[in-house]
Amino acid sequence: MREAFSWIRRLAQIGTRLTVALFGRLVFADSYGNRYYVLQKAWLGFKGAEKRWVLFAGEPEATKIPPEHFAWLHHLCDQPLPKGGGSRYGQDKGHHPNLTGTMAATFLPWREIHHRDNRDNKAWQPLARTKRK
Cβ pair 53, 40 in contact under 8 A: no
* 75 or 107, which is more confident: 75
Mean pLDDT of all residues in 34-44 = 77
63 contacts: CB under 8 Å, gap ≥ 6: 95, 97, 98
Q: What is the pLDDT of residue 70?
A: 85
Cβ pair 69, 30 in contact under 8 A: yes
pLDDT tier at 125 (50, 70, 90 boundaries)?
A: confident
Q: Residue 72 class from Cβ within 10 Å (0-12 exposed, 13-18 middle, 19+ buried)?
A: buried
Mean pLDDT of all residues in 82-96 = 63
Phi-psi region of 110 (alpha: psi -120 to 50; beta: other; left: phi over 0): alpha
Could you report how far apart the first and last alpha carbons of the chain are, in Å? 67
Q: Taking 60 as the threshold, does the pLDDT of residue 117 lie above it?
A: no
Q: Taking 70 as the threshold, does the pLDDT of residue 9 lie above it?
A: yes
* 81 or 129, which is more confident: 129
Q: Give the gyration radius of the chain's Cα atoms.
A: 25
pLDDT tier at 36 (50, 70, 90 boundaries)?
A: very high
Q: Taking 80 as the threshold, does the pLDDT of residue 101 lie above it?
A: no
